[in-house]
Amino acid sequence: MERPRIAGSVAVGWFLLTLAMIVYATRLALVVAPTDALQGNVFRIFFYHVPHSMLSLVWPYVNLVASAGFLFWRRRDPLKALTADAVAVASAEVTLVYASICLATGMLWGRVEWGIWWTWDARLTSMLVLWLLYVSYLILRQLSSVGQTQTLAAVLSIFAGIDVPIVYMSIRWWRTQHPAPVFMSGDPDAGVDKSYYPAWEANILAWAMWGLLLIAMRYALERRRQQREQDAALKAIEDSLEFTR
Amino acid sequence: MKLSWMFGPTMEQRHLLYVYVLVWVVQGGYAAWVAWQWWRTRPQDQ
């Protein structure tokens, strides 16, 4: 009884800290950071768009590692495999949330700056493919009834893991309409003014903390569902044994 | 600096507002949905 109580206190503390961090980061983005000389205030969309885009390329690797763990343990240690599967489904849903926000906020910025909602350039298309892979991952988990759902989903997550470096490198490999890389570009002339750093760093940290909180919450929910399914299966066996006596 | 500049009729102002509202609604909505599902998925022995 003691462990769930400690976990609950940690979760509430983390939630409050994250919420305070998001409010602080949003204030830096909207109030403190100077207006961009070229784009004006619409540039402030990037303070939410970029962290969500970066993190939507991080969470798939949580999903990939958890899926690999599931494939490794599914015959050796089914209890560990169930834990890994709960992490996999949690990180897949959070990836979809972040990737959806990345695409939607990018389109809202593109309509203002480019005059169009969408263009089939390498970055946007590869990101859309990643989004579709996770939509299909979650539909597969929801609708498949063959008893191999978790294994099929784990294999699908490998394809998503392959798409992630393509999304990341697309603006380096190809000339795209999407802006060139700003962070870790290798170009000494690229980058943003130092006055923007606090807003970037705070928003990346805040949305990373939030993503970790969501994964932990969704993991706890999945573990509860697994526990309930196991309880129901045990009860059905007990009932059938009583029926045959 | 006040935030009143965000609430205006131009496309820049509207889209900037949409982005910030959208992110809070989607992230908050998803967190609320997970919390709600966790709350109503109680173990059978309780």
What ipTM did this prediction achieve? 0.90
Give me chain A's average pLDDT, please: 91
Q: Which residues touch A158 (CB under 8 Å, ≥6 apart)?
A: A64, A67
Q: How is residue A180 written in tokens? A: 């060139």
Tell me what pLDDT residue A71 has.
Answer: 94
Q: For residues A169 and A228, give the distance between their C-alpha atoms in angstroms, rounded to a whole number.
A: 43
Do B26 and A44 count as a contact with CB atoms less than 8 A apart? no
How many beta-carbon pairs below 8 A join chains A and B?
79
Q: Which residues touch A115 (CB under 8 Å, ≥6 apart)?
A: none
A4-18, A102-116, A161-175 — which one is most confidently predicted on average? Answer: A102-116
Among residues of chain A, what percentage have pLDDT more than 90? 69
Provide the whole-model pTM. 0.91
Residues of chain A that touch chain B, judged by Cβ-Cβ distance less than 8 Å: 26, 30-31, 40-42, 44-45, 48-49, 52, 93, 97, 100-101, 104-105, 108-109, 111-112, 210, 213-214, 217-218, 220-221, 224-225, 227-228, 231-232, 235
Tens of pLDDT, residues A222-234:
999 999 988 888 8
